[in-house]
Structure 1
Amino acid sequence: MDNPSSTMRKALVYTVDERERAIALFSAWKVATVAKPRDFDILICSFEPLAIPAHLSALGIRNVVFDLHDKISAENLPQIWLPLITYLRLWLPDALRLRYDRLLYLDADTYLVSPDLSHLFEVDLGPHVLAAALDKMQWENPNRPILDFAAQGMNVRRYLNAGVCLFDVEGYNARNLLGQMLEIHRAGAKLQHHDQSLINLATKGHWAELSPRWNWQWTSRFPGLTERADPLLHHFGGAPKPWDAARRPTNFSGPIVEEYATFLSLEDSIHRFETNHYGGLRPSIPAQIKGLVDSALAYRHFRKLMKRHTDAFETRL
């Protein structure tokens, strides 16, 4: 690993390979241009060197290469739909322990809206070593049984989404959270969501809960509720993605689709697309009506979800 040159003690991190490089660069570009002031590094973490265009390097976006591929591969972690590089995030608090105090991990398919991202690094973690938001499967049904916990005989109700995850580096390492996750895997645990499952099984619901506005996972499904929620950070988990909008109808806003189209058209990316439709393809009228009905049915769950946090930087401990 080449040590980052700045003296900042906080870092925003992505873990991607070449396939997701351009998508991560878009997310990082949004952060670099929207977050103000910015007192954290932006690192694209990988096993192999990844090209960072000069105009993005000038914004402080850097690639950091970790020689951990063989070590992580030797753990035989499940990769049914998850590339090995994603697991690198579990090793980063140890690999960067001498350099940073807090790490904020973002999935590549995230889109920053708020300029106040720097303050997210400072939220109260209480006695916990990480912070995250509830996974969207608990947004509509908070009491939904979690298969990962049920398979282990655990009576745990909170299940985090690991697409946005804030780590306290010292605490993470002191509690040997990585070691606990690897032991869970080696013991043969059935993992519904791979590394996200490992984080949830190791923490057992003991984590600081972020406002869903910092990991908004309903952008495509419920655009009306999304507008009401006023997200600070979108997370385009699942399918479709904004860069699919030229090939299939989506509910993503026109400006978001156009930003991706413009950025990816300038990158040597497998995700590059051009659209003849401003804002991408829109759902049919029947699909739009169904979406409105679904949003109405989900509204009471939405209200309960949003009431869990009175302030954007409040955490539930």
Structure 2
Amino acid sequence: MSDRRHRLVFFSTDRGFLVPTIVAAEQITRQADVMAIADVMIMLIDIAPEQGAALQAAFPKIAFRHISKDGFALPDGAVFNETHVPKAALARLSSSRYIDSQYKHVVYIDGDVQIVGSILPLVSHDVGEGHILAGPDAAEMWWSEAGGSATGERHYVRGLGISDPRLYFNSGVLAATRETWAAFGVQALQFMRDRSAICRYHDQSALNAITPRAKREFLSPRYNFNRWYGLLGLRERMNPAIIHFTGAQKPWADKYPSYNGEFKDAYTTLVARHPVLAPYWETTSGRAGPGLDQPPRLGLGWALPWRVPLRRKRALRSFRRTPYSVA
């Protein structure tokens, strides 16, 4: 790490997502223009210091830092909706204490992504003080639908105080100043502790609830291309730079093929090159699932013939009309 750089791209992970996270971080280190202005860090949870030292030796371009679970622990009686998401996901909310003061701008990225294009526009962008830069989730695509799933999701989003689906964001890629990140993290963690029952999607729910609507900067889905966009066949149209494998199925799966093999190979190749990763690879979370565009299981909504073209139309309309701070 360099004291000359004032931008940080960081991840946080436990053992279950370590290999995928390193894949994404290493992909960033191959972008020379990004590395010229930013450092890359992975915050480690429940990984022993000697194991962290071995990782640091194997990946010298990535900084590894150990963080304590105590900083994001929930009180007795708090609800944590049991999904594929581990409690370690809450670590980002307490991460600011591990970010050195030299960094003025920070970008957080989930570990279940792959970097497939230039992220320089994202990393070089100066987010306004008190603002957060975030990409859309899927709410705008299904908001007007009448099915039970959409009705339940609308109730959830409105319960967070959000009535406009365009304002509900995915927390997989976020950017802010260091000071704003610290303040929002404290507020979101407290919200999660106080009102965990309505935080269906954990830290994402809490961050959406505490972010002032006027303080949201819009990030193009090119930098957080979630599963919905893949299911709608929009990869070529949107030309993503970051593909985010949202949902329980992951591209490092053994059971199902990846999309033309392009995603899974990144994980197996990295593990083959770095034997230090072998123990983590054996216990990687979710090693069963499809590629981005080949899901084995879909809900009824995807089977209805009119749903996909309508959702695609809504997604493209939003893509064309939204005033993105980073396009």
Q: Tell me which interval the TM-score lies in, with the shorter structure as reference length.
A: 0.7 to 0.9
Of 3, 8, 26, the residue aligned with 1:11 is 8
The equivalences for 1:91-102 within 5 A come to: 91-96=94-99, 98-102=101-105
Alignment match of 2:137 (pick from 132, 135, 138): 135
Instruction: Give the TM-score normalised by structure 2.
Output: 0.76
**Structure 2 residues without counterparts, runs of 5 or longer:** 285-290, 297-301
What per-residue deviation string (whole Å, max 9, x for no partner) do you get for residues 133-164 of structure 1?
01123334379664444335654541110011
Q: Distance in 2 between matches of 1:104 and 1:85?
A: 18
- Aligned alpha-carbon RMSD (Å): 3.4
Name the stretch that deviates more: 125-134 or 220-229.
Answer: 220-229
Count of aligned pairs: 293
Aligned mates of 2:319, 2:128 — CA distance in 1:
21
Report the CA distance shift for 1:263/1:223 in structure 2 as closer, same or farther (over 3 A). Answer: farther
2:120 counterpart (75, 99, 118) = 118
Q: How far, CA to CA, are the matches of 2:293 and 2:179 in structure 1?
A: 46
Structure whose residues are more often helix by fraction: 2
Query: 1:271 deviation in Å?
Result: 6.0
Distance 1:178 1:30, change over 3 A: closer
Identity of aligned residues (%): 22
Match of 1:299 among 294, 308, 312: 312
Q: 1:83 to 1:257 in 2, by over 3 A?
A: closer
SS in 2 for 1:242: coil
After superposition, residues 1-317 of structure 1 pair within 5 angstroms as 6-34=3-31, 36-38=33-35, 39-47=37-45, 48=47, 49=49, 50=52, 51-52=54-55, 54-57=57-60, 60-66=61-67, 68-73=68-73, 75=75, 78-79=79-80, 80-81=82-83, 82-96=85-99, 98-115=101-118, 117-123=119-125, 125-126=127-128, 128-141=130-143, 146-151=154-159, 155=163, 157=165, 158-173=167-182, 176-189=183-196, 190-205=198-213, 206-218=215-227, 221-222=230-231, 224-244=233-253, 246-249=254-257, 252-266=259-273, 267-268=277-278, 269-270=281-282, 295-309=308-322, 313-314=326-327
* Structure 1 runs not aligned, ≥5 long: 273-278
Q: 1:276: which partner in 2?
A: none
Kept in 1, the 8 Å contact 2:162–2:168? The answer is: no
1:10 is aligned with what amino acid? R
SS in 1 for 2:326: coil
> 3-state DSSP class of the match of 2:43?
strand
d(CA) in 2 for partners of 1:152 and 1:182? 14
Instruction: State the alpha-carbon separation in 1 of the partners of residues 184 and 229 from structure 2.
Output: 33
Task: Supply the distance in 2 between the matched residues of 1:74 and 1:283 (Cα, whole angstroms).
Answer: 34
Matched letter for residue 19 of structure 1? G
CA contact (8 A) 1:146 1:159 kept: no
Distance in structure 2 (CA, Å) of the matches to 1:292 and 1:167: 40
Q: Deviations over 1:260-312 (max 9, x none)?
A: 3322444311268xxxxxx999779xxxx979986544331232121134778
Identify the residue that residue 287 of structure 2 maps to in structure 1: none
Residues 223-268 of structure 1, C-alpha deviations (whole Å, 9 max, x = no match):
6321221111100111321111x41255x24322322332244431
Match for 2:27: what amino acid? K
- Partners of 1:283 and 1:209 lie apart in 2 by 28
1:128 Cα deviation from its structure 2 partner: 3.9
Q: 1:167 to 1:311 in 2, by over 3 A?
A: closer
Q: In structure 1, what residue type is equivalent to 2:265?
A: E
TM-score by length of 1: 0.78
Kindly provide the amino acid, as one letter, of the partner of residue 69 in structure 1.
K
